[in-house]
């Protein structure tokens, strides 16, 4: 049998195998990248949520201190005007204090909603990254099966063409000459 067809067959098989190995390596890197990117983005969302909580707490604390200063000045102004802190002035002070606190509570609720959104976005991002990684893995499996089928097809075609028989004719079936069955 001529050596050239066997060399071409071997080179084709080697190239297919090398291509499969590179595809597999790239797919695994793609899976890792999808997972790492999702985790990185989730960590950013979580960090933003934690920072928002810290900022909101600090802002509310500072605003409550400013509210106390305002209320203190209001009391001082009433006292300087000779108005007793009872009746209408007391009602005004209580209403003002209540409105201030209501604004702080609303700020806190708004912050909690934003934090929940960020935590949800983090979870969603991780789920998307895992799904992308899984899809890459499934596609890689399909590619490996297709590559394996191509190798088998190449060898089957060569066998049927008689490339592995000594006479160079058709394959003619599984070679059994010189084989003995175990007794």
**What DSSP string describes 39-100?**
HHHHHHHHHHHHHHHHHHHHHHHHHHHHHHHHHHHHHHHHHHTT--SSSHHHHHHHHHHHHH
Q: At what angle do helices 3-80 and 88-160 cross, to 10 degrees?
A: 180
Query: What is the number of domains present in the chain?
Result: 1
Residue 176 is encoded by which pair of tokens? Answer: 């059994």
The answer to whether residue 183 is domain-embedded is: no
Residue 86 is encoded by which pair of tokens? Answer: 């009872």
Confidence band for 2, pLDDT divided at 50, 70 and 90: low
Confidence band for 178, pLDDT divided at 50, 70 and 90: low
The answer to whether residues 106 and 56 touch, using CB atoms and an 8 Å cutoff, is no
The answer to whether residue 55 is domain-embedded is: yes
Q: What's the pLDDT at 46? A: 96
The answer to whether residue 135 is domain-embedded is: yes
The answer to whether residue 34 is domain-embedded is: yes
* pLDDT tens per residue across span 21-57: 999 999 999 999 999 999 999 999 999 999 999 999 9
* pLDDT tens per residue across span 91-116: 888 898 999 999 999 999 999 999 99
Residues of the domain holding 33: 3-160
The answer to whether residue 175 is domain-embedded is: no
Q: What's the pLDDT at 76? A: 86
What is the separation of C-alpha 59 from the centre of its chain, rounded to a whole number of angstroms? 33
For residue 163, pLDDT over 80 is answered with: no
How many Å apart are CA 113 and CA 11, to the nearest integer? 62
Q: What's the pLDDT at 160? A: 82
Give the pTM: 0.66
How many Å apart are CA 8 and CA 15, to the nearest integer? 10
- C-alpha closest to that of 52 among 126, 100, 122: 122
């Amino acid at each position: 049998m001529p050596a050239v067809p066997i060399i071409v067959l071997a080179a084709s098989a080697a190239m297919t195998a090398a291509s499969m190995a590179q595809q597999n390596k790239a797919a695994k890197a793609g899976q890792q990248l999808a997972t790492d990117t999702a985790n990185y983005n989730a960590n950013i969302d979580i960090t933003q949520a934690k920072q928002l909580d810290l900022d909101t707490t600090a802002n509310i604390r500072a605003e409550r201190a400013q509210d106390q200063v305002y209320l203190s000045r209001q009391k001082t102004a009433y006292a300087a005007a000779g108005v007793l802190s009872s009746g209408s002035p007391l009602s005004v002070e209580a209403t003002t204090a209540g409105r201030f606190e209501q604004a702080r509570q609303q700020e806190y609720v708004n912050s909690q909603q934003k934090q929940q959104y960020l935590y949800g976005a983090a979870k969603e991002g991780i789920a998307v990254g895992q799904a992308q990684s899984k899809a890459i893995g499934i596609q890689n499996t399909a590619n490996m099966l297709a590559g394996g089928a191509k190798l088998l097809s190449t060898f089957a075609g060569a066998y049927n063409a008689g490339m592995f028989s000594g006479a160079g004719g058709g394959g003619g079936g599984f070679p059994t000459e010189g084989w003995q069955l175990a007794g």
